[in-house]
Structure formats: structure tokens, C-alpha cells
Chains A and B, each alone.
Chain A
């Protein structure tokens, strides 16, 4: 179990981690989410004793990382930045780490086999591709067969096969009762793997709850309605829509016509919409409750805590028609928040 209590870290006058408190339980995968620059990597470095906190504590089964005698047997960590000497072979990299923990050579071979690097074990790590480097980092993390795994963006640079491999590895390790704490900026990735989420923005805790609860908490719940009489239904629903009458007493009912002629209704449950349509004798072709995806829930909850905001609407701006005889410069795609580099 990882326990973080009132943890803070400042760099100059910039607060990277702001009084964070949460625990990571064994036996499940805890996703660590946040926009870039939210302080995920810093938090992990603080837990691992690489950086010194300004206040607060981080412990692993009650012990600060720096007090662990054979830390690699207890905690395996994959950091976002590479942590391998480029001139050293994969084998020697793992072997020197194994020596420091009193682990046998056989453990190095096992770790290399586990990540599929046996054949390149004697090659210099500096020549490894991003994916191979990531596998070597994971081999180092698994070297001591640790009870706790801390992985910072483990799927970065991996091909789809590698991503699937990591996902299954984490699931089987969690099923074996290990504590898995994994950060990612890919919400979809977390939706597939995480059981529990710790969400931060600007160094502060936004959510610490199950994936389902996280999505449910988002206000982005809506019902898709298809009807041949959209105008009539919209009028009917909005007439009835007295604030406080909807599913959420706080949210007024809104009806938004979509481009394909369907309606998106917010603030009213599907059953109620159906009843109102029947009462007004409006024909319905479709009535579908829609849940926000994890991605949408994340965007909703971290809005306002994003460091470098990108105007998302730019995506939808029509590209002006190119003028004849002038070479067309391809429009630079704005980078979305989740893709922007830290």
C-alpha cells in the first residue's frame, strides 16, 4: 500500500504538488490521471525518494522509500525519463541493479525473458528503440519481484502488441495482490485497465474514486432522442422544464439539436422524456441514455486546472479555401491538451 499524506513540492515559486493526500490499495490497478504538468511525475518521484518534499510524507507499507533496505525487492518503478546508461548493455544494467539487492544472476535472465529482451541482452542500451528502452525499464522494475509497482506512462512508445502486453501484465500482477500505481495521460488506456482513479490537476487532488464513480460524477450525462417532430418535442420538453424538475435538481433541462436532426437532452432522464413525448403524442424513433466516456469525464473535471489550454473549437474551424496558384501550406493541427508535451 502506498500512502501519500499532505505532500507538497515547489520548484521556485511554482507549486508542482499541492498538499496531496491519497492511498493506493493493493490488489487493484490505480490509475493516476491528470493533464500534463499536473504533477504526476513529481508525485511519483517524491514517493520514490528521488525528490525531497517541502511538506508531507509518502510511505510504502508505512516506510519511507529511502528507509527500505532492499527497495527493489519491495517496489518496482518505471520512470518517465530513461534511467539507463546508454553505454551499458541491458544485461549489465540489470546485473548491477541485482547486485545491489543481493539478487542472483538467474533473476536477471528471468527479467530479460519476461520482457522479451533476451536476444539483445548484450547490446548497448543506447541503441535501443523507444519500445525496447521501455521494456528494459520494465525489466528493471520487475527485477526484484516487488509487491508494489509504480509506473509512469508505461505504454509510451510501445507498439499495440506491447500496450496489450503491459495491460495484461498489470492485470495479472494486480490479481496476484500487488499494488499497481500507474500514470497515464491516455484516458482510454485507463478505462481499459484501471479499477480505481486518483485524478489531479495543478498538483491538487480532483478525484480519488472508482472508475465508475468518476464517470458518474461528471455532469455530462445526456439522452439522445430521434423523432420526426423535433421542434414539437423540444418545445414540449422545454415548456415542462422548470428548474428543479429534471434528474439533477441543480441543472436546468437543455435541448440541443444535433446536426443529423436528432436532439441531445440534458438534465432529464430517458423515462421522463418518453412519458412527456407520449403525453404530447410525439413519435419517438430512438431514446438512448448516453454516459460520458472517461475521456469526457476527465476533461469536464479537470477543466480550469489545465496548465496550457488549447482552444478545442479550433478543430472545427473550416479551413479557408486555398487561393488559386498559391501553394497551400498545411494548417498546423492544434495539439489537444492530452497530447501536449509537458
Chain B
């Protein structure tokens, strides 16, 4: 019989200790073998580096005509402004990638093959999250330092800024952490919604539109709501100096974002286990 494998396989039995590394290997193969992931990452790198250079150059160019508030913001936190301009659009690519890592399995039916191979759904989700987070962390950290390396010399004439300045290193590392967490956040939304378009619209609408709009909420309650929203809290870690209205410190903010993501990830794991595939 041609279907017979040469090695005698003890069917169904396995060393459970080796199981999780196998899942990581599986998810890594899945991740690297689809073009859309590579395109999303490439889009992120190009957008992030390009905009860091472009917006910093425009700022330096228009420095004399710039309004004082904006000038003060750049002077207070040059690194945060470089990173902010760099990731403003690039973070969308990370959101898309995060959501698609899981929704593409649903749209193509791959999820059924995955769950037949790995019927324990929570380890599968954990392996997927870990592989995605690891890759995103490496890429976003590299890009964050790259963006700084490109933009700091451009900015140098107006605002001298260097890696050894207070808070700069933390902001650069923080930017990668923020983007990685954002990707995971998008992934959990993808796991909950299961549809690519819906998940991407939901995440991007929230990050770009809804969360910033919450600034307009009146009074102290509104201010607190805004401060504790996932991405609004999370991006504080990518600032080298706190803003005058920030309620949370850099790491507190990141902690809030991480908490949101972990809670949603638990909900996603729970629903994945409960729902029909």
C-alpha cells in the first residue's frame, strides 16, 4: 500500500512536551508562506520610514511659519513626534496584518484544516499570537530605530535630539511594543469577528476615528474615558516626554493597553473554544 508511511507511527500518541514547539513551527510556516503577510510588512516598513523622513522634512521646512503650539509639542517631545508621524499610517498595515492572520483562515476555510490538525483551539490561538507578536516585534523595533536614525539628522538643525537624551531609548523601544500590542489587539478582534473586512474596519475605525474623538467627551469623566482607551493609553509609551494633559505615565498607559488586549484575547480564546468552526 502506497499510503503506508515507512516509519511505524504510534497513532494518536505523542509526547505532549513537544507539542507546543510544533504548533509554533506550524504557525511560522503559515505566516511566512502567504504573500499577503509579506506585503503588509513591506507596506508598513515603506510607509513608516518614508513618512518619518517626509513629515520631519516638512516640519523643518515650515518651521518658521509653524504655529507656536505645534512648535512647543515638537520641542517638548521630538522623538515622540518623529515616531507619531512615522507610524500614523504604518500602524494601519499592522492592524490589517493582525486581523488577517486569523480572518484569512476563516475566509479560505484553512481554519478547518488547522483545527483538524490541532483540535485544542486555545494552544493554536496562543501559538499564532506568539509567532505573530515575535515577528511584528522584530520588524517594528527595527523600523522604529530606523525611523529615528533617518529623521533625527533631518531635525537636527531645529531640534538636536540623540539616542542618549532622556526618554528617547524608551520611546523607541516603546514604539515597537505599542505596534506589536496593536497587532495583537487587531488579531483578537479578527478572532472574535472572523471576517476580514469587518475586523479591519472595526479596528481601524476605532484606532483612527473613535478613540481620538473621545477627546471631545466633556468633563473629567470624558477625560478619563479617553485616557483609558486601548490605543490612546498604549501610544504614551512611544513618547519621550509626557504631554501636559496625560493622566497616565508611559508604562501605565502601555499596561492599560496590554490589559485590554489580554482580556480580549481571553474572550477570543473562550469563544473560539465554544463556537462551531
Hey, which bits of chain A sit against chain B, CB under 8 A?
Answer: 45, 48-52, 61, 63, 65-75, 77, 79, 81-89, 92-93, 95-97, 99-102, 104, 107, 110, 114, 140, 142, 144-147, 169, 172-173, 176
Which residue of B has the minimal Cβ distance to A64? B119
**What residues on B are CB-neighbors of A146 within 8 Å?**
11
- Asked if B115 and A96 sit within 8 Å, CB to CB, the answer is no
Interface string of B6-28 (1 = CB under 8 A from A): 01011111101011001101110
Q: Which of B5, B35, B118 has the most CB of A within 10 A?
A: B5
Q: Determine how close the nearest CB of chain B comes to the CB of A105; give it in whole angstroms.
A: 11
- Asked if A110 and B5 sit within 8 Å, CB to CB, the answer is yes
Distance of A118 Cα from B2 Cα, bound (Å): 15
Q: Determine how close the nearest CB of chain A comes to the CB of B104; give it in whole angstroms.
A: 6
Extra A-B contacts (4), CB below 8 Å, given A84-B110, A92-B30, A102-B22: A83-B116, A89-B33, A99-B22, A100-B22
Given contacts A88-B30, A102-B22, A176-B4, contact A68 B109 (CB under 8 A): no
Hey, which bits of chain B sit against chain A, CB under 8 A?
Answer: 1-5, 7, 9-14, 16, 18-19, 22-23, 25-27, 29-30, 33-36, 104-105, 108-113, 115-120, 274, 276-277
- Asked if B3 and A145 sit within 8 Å, CB to CB, the answer is yes
Cβ contact of B116, chosen from A77, A88, A99, A173, cutoff 8 A: A77
Which residue of A has the minimal Cβ distance to B37? A87
Given contacts A82-B109, A88-B34, A99-B26, contact A52 B117 (CB under 8 A): no
Distance of A48 Cα from B118 Cα, bound (Å): 11
- Asked if A100 and B23 sit within 8 Å, CB to CB, the answer is yes
- Asked if B26 and A83 sit within 8 Å, CB to CB, the answer is no
- Asked if B3 and A48 sit within 8 Å, CB to CB, the answer is no
Query: Can you name 27 A-B pairs with beta carbons within 8 Å?
Result: A49-B119, A50-B276, A50-B277, A52-B276, A61-B12, A70-B12, A72-B116, A72-B117, A73-B10, A81-B109, A83-B112, A84-B108, A84-B110, A85-B104, A85-B105, A87-B34, A87-B35, A88-B110, A93-B113, A95-B29, A97-B113, A101-B117, A107-B5, A110-B5, A114-B2, A173-B3, A176-B4
Distance of A70 Cα from B120 Cα, bound (Å): 11
Q: Determine how close the nearest CB of chain B comes to the CB of A76; give it in whole angstroms.
A: 9
Which residue of B has the minimal Cβ distance to A61? B12
- Asked if B29 and A79 sit within 8 Å, CB to CB, the answer is no
- Asked if A73 and B33 sit within 8 Å, CB to CB, the answer is no
- Asked if A102 and B35 sit within 8 Å, CB to CB, the answer is no
- Asked if B12 and A83 sit within 8 Å, CB to CB, the answer is no
Given contacts A107-B5, A140-B113, contact A102 B14 (CB under 8 A): yes
Cβ contact of B12, chosen from A45, A73, A77, cutoff 8 A: A73
Distance of A216 Cα from B16 Cα, bound (Å): 50
Distance of A66 Cα from B1 Cα, bound (Å): 28
**What residues on A are CB-neighbors of B105 within 8 Å?**
85
- Asked if B3 and A169 sit within 8 Å, CB to CB, the answer is yes
Which residue of B has the minimal Cβ distance to A77? B116
Which residue of A has the minimal Cβ distance to B275? A52
Q: Determine how close the nearest CB of chain A comes to the CB of B167; give it in whole angstroms.
A: 41
Distance of A140 Cα from B14 Cα, bound (Å): 19
Given contacts A50-B115, A72-B116, A83-B116, contact A96 B11 (CB under 8 A): no
Q: Determine how close the nearest CB of chain B comes to the CB of A91; give it in whole angstroms.
A: 9
- Asked if B12 and A100 sit within 8 Å, CB to CB, the answer is no
Distance of A107 Cα from B9 Cα, bound (Å): 12
Cβ contact of B3, chosen from A69, A71, A81, A114, cutoff 8 A: A114
- Asked if B119 and A52 sit within 8 Å, CB to CB, the answer is no
**What residues on A are CB-neighbors of B108 within 8 Å?**
82, 84-87
**What residues on A are CB-neighbors of B9 within 8 Å?**
73, 144-145
Given contacts A71-B116, A86-B108, A87-B34, contact A100 B276 (CB under 8 A): no
Q: Determine how close the nearest CB of chain B comes to the CB of A128; give it in whole angstroms.
A: 12
**What residues on A are CB-neighbors of B118 within 8 Å?**
100
**What residues on B are CB-neighbors of A145 within 8 Å?**
3-5, 9
Q: Which of A52, A70, A100, A172 has the most CB of B within 10 A?
A: A100
Q: Which of B11, B104, B111, B120 has the most CB of A within 10 A?
A: B11
Top 6 nearest A-B pairs (CB, nearest first) are A92-B33, A145-B5, A83-B112, A96-B29, A66-B119, A74-B12
**What residues on A are CB-neighbors of B2 within 8 Å?**
114
Which residue of A has the minimal Cβ distance to B9? A73
**What residues on B are CB-neighbors of A75 within 8 Å?**
116
Cβ contact of B113, chosen from A51, A84, A89, A144, cutoff 8 A: A84
Cβ contact of B109, chosen from A65, A84, A99, A101, cutoff 8 A: A84
Which residue of B has the minimal Cβ distance to A51? B276
Distance of A147 Cα from B38 Cα, bound (Å): 38
Q: Determine how close the nearest CB of chain B comes to the CB of A179; give it in whole angstroms.
A: 12
- Asked if B116 and A48 sit within 8 Å, CB to CB, the answer is yes
Q: Which of A70, A101, A114 has the most CB of B within 10 A?
A: A70
- Asked if B33 and A88 sit within 8 Å, CB to CB, the answer is yes
- Asked if A83 and B13 sit within 8 Å, CB to CB, the answer is no
Distance of A69 Cα from B119 Cα, bound (Å): 9
- Asked if A63 and B116 sit within 8 Å, CB to CB, the answer is no
**What residues on A are CB-neighbors of B3 within 8 Å?**
114, 142, 145, 169, 173
Distance of A52 Cα from B275 Cα, bound (Å): 7
Which residue of B has the minimal Cβ distance to A107? B5
Distance of A63 Cα from B30 Cα, bound (Å): 28
